[in-house]
């Protein structure tokens, strides 16, 4: 997929495309010979849609590669996820609408609990209520270090976005989160000479934070990880001439879609139903809609097989509302697999459905991993999804005579 080639062929049209992403959609049977979460779920509406669609299994970043949500989404948005590497820090800041600039070094922050010896006892400070997190962030904003400006933005529960702004900061830094309990947080180290000044600033910030929060049990310390600066991503809209809206509850997904040049529209609520209401509300204003459902992945990662199936059923009940809008192209897929049995993201290719009046249906009557494995899209790179959607939306002009 050479994006420049497609950019040259992009043509305007009055059509509308919906990219419905069920995070971590792909799964595995709970026991040998069984059905996956998606195969278990009762999905009459998705099945009906599948029968009118082409099916396949999408691969975000090559065979055997388990991706995070960032690369998984970049692939769905048509960007080569190996070429465009985006760190979590940048995404976290973008996700809370922070205006990240070229001089900004971002990181993902956690409030955590440490004991008298400074050893971590809870990496998430008991999943601190967001309101408390907010007031602690106010405290952190008072930190001053000469030569640099810090920004702290609460995200959700124990999480916050951290940004250090100064000219010429490097972003090759080790993380302060030890990723386990019973050990102290780590000093941040520069992994190249250009990042030494950044490491000094960040360590100064962490030291002041330790003193400021000392009495704030359980959130008496912070960790920072995923340091990075913003990569330059060609705008999704400019590339393909699409006016694109992003409908997503969680920061990460709001962030990556904003990075791709989509408008992150205000939500009518945080439920799946409310996301579809948001879709209806903005239907006239945009021609590309990215709608993200998080809970499939949350259930997958926590090993909740039936919970994941239930979330899929919840999405299935919204499909008639989506189809009532008469979209020209619908893609239902995921950014990666998250089988409940693995309690984590996985490398399994992701069930994907491509609907449009111009696809030749595969005549397969269900939506599921095995159904998609028989689909004519085969196992295909996730970066192909956007070109196929554009073609079916009549937004790609002919190449050559």
SS3 227: strand
Classified as helix, coil or strand, 159 is strand
Residue from 47, 80, 277, 380 binding a copy of itself (CB under 8 A): 380
Using CB under 8 A, pick the residue from 134, 144, 243, 374 that binds a copy of itself. 374
Q: Pick between residue 271 and residue 302 the one whose CB is nearest to a copy of itself.
A: 302
Residue 193 binds a copy of itself, judged by CB under 8 A? no
For residues 9 and 209, give the distance between their C-alpha atoms in angstroms, rounded to a whole number: 52
226: left (phi over 0), alpha (psi -120 to 50) or beta: left
How many whole angstroms separate alpha carbon 42 and alpha carbon 316?
Answer: 8
- Looking at 5, 142, 271, 365, which residue binds a copy of itself (CB under 8 A)? 5
Using the rule CB under 8 A, which residue among 199, 224, 377, 382 binds a copy of itself? 377
172 binds a copy of itself (CB under 8 A): no
392 part of the interface to a copy of itself, by CB under 8 A: yes
Angle between helices 251-259 and 69-76 (to 10 degrees): 40
* Closest CB to a copy of itself among residues 213, 389: 389
Q: What are the angstrom distances between the C-alpha of 94 and each of 82, 99, 124?
A: 20, 7, 21
Applying CB under 8 A, which of residues 25, 49, 50, 67 lies at the interface with a copy of itself? 67
Q: Does 83 bind a copy of itself (CB under 8 A)?
A: no
Q: Is 400 in the site for a copy of itself (CB under 8 A)?
A: yes
Interface size with a copy of itself, residues (CB under 8 A): 65
Q: Which is nearer to a copy of itself, 8 or 134 (CB)?
A: 8
Q: How far is CA 232 from CA 6, 85, 235, 261, in A?
A: 19, 10, 9, 11
Among 165, 216, 174, 167, residue whose Cα is nearest residue 192: 174
In 248-366, the DSSP E strands lie at: 263-264, 288-293, 329-333, 350-355
Decide if residue 345 touches a copy of itself (CB under 8 A).
yes
Hey, what's the torsion of the CAs at 235, 239, 241, 246, to 10 degrees?
-40
Distance CA 107, CA 229 (A): 9
Nearest distance from C-beta of residue 251 to a copy of itself, angstroms: 12
**283 lines the binding site for a copy of itself (CB under 8 A):** no
Options 265-273, 275-283, 284-292, 360-368: segment touching a copy of itself (CB under 8 A): 360-368
What DSSP element (H or E) covers 54? strand 53-59
Q: Is 65 in the site for a copy of itself (CB under 8 A)?
A: yes
Positions touching a copy of itself (CB under 8 A) are 1-2, 5-6, 9, 28-29, 32, 36, 52, 57, 61-72, 81-82, 85-88, 91, 226, 252, 342, 344-348, 357-358, 360, 362-363, 369-370, 373-374, 376-380, 384, 387-392, 396-401
């Amino acid at each position: 997929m050479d994006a420049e080639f497609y950019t040259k062929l992009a043509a305007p049209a009055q059509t509308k495309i919906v990219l419905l992403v069920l995070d971590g959609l792909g799964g595995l049977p709970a026991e040998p010979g069984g059905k996956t979460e998606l195969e278990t779920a009762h999905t009459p509406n998705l099945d009906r849609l599948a029968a009118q669609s082409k099916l396949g299994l999408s691969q975000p970043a090559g065979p055997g590669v388990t991706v995070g949500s960032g690369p998984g989404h970049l692939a769905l948005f048509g960007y080569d996820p190996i070429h465009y590497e985006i760190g979590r820090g940048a995404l976290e800041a973008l996700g809370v609408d922070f205006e990240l600039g070229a001089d900004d070094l971002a990181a993902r922050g956690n409030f955590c609990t440490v004991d008298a010896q400074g050893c971590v006892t809870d990496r998430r400070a008991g999943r601190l209520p967001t309101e408390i997190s907010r007031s602690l962030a106010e405290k952190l904003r008072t930190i001053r270090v000469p030569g640099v400006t810090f920004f702290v933005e609460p995200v959700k529960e124990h999480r916050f976005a951290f940004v250090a702004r100064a000219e010429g900061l490097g972003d090759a830094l080790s993380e302060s989160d030890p990723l386990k309990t019973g050990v102290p947080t780590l000093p941040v180290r520069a992994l190249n000479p250009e990042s030494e000044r950044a490491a000094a600033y960040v360590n100064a910030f962490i030291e002041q934070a330790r003193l400021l929060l000392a009495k704030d049990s359980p959130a008496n310390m912070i960790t920072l990880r995923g340091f990075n600066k913003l990569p330059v991503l060609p705008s999704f809209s400019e590339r393909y001439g699409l006016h694109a809206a992003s409908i997503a509850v969680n920061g990460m997904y709001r962030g990556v879609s904003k990075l791709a040049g989509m408008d992150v529209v205000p939500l009518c609520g945080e439920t799946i139903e409310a996301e579809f209401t948001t879709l209806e509300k903005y239907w006239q204003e945009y021609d590309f809609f990215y709608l993200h459902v998080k809970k499939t992945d949350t259930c997958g990662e926590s090993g909740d097989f039936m919970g994941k199936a239930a979330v899929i059923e919840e999405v299935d009940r919204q499909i008639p509302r989506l189809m009532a809008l008469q979209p020209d192209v619908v893609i239902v897929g995921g950014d990666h697999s998250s089988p409940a049995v693995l309690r984590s993201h996985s490398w399994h290719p992701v069930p994907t459905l491509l609907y449009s009046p111009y696809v030749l249906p595969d005549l397969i009557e269900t939506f599921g991993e095995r159904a998609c494995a028989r689909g004519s899209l085969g196992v295909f790179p996730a970066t192909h999804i956007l070109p196929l959607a554009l073609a079916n939306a009549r937004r790609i002009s002919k190449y050559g005579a």
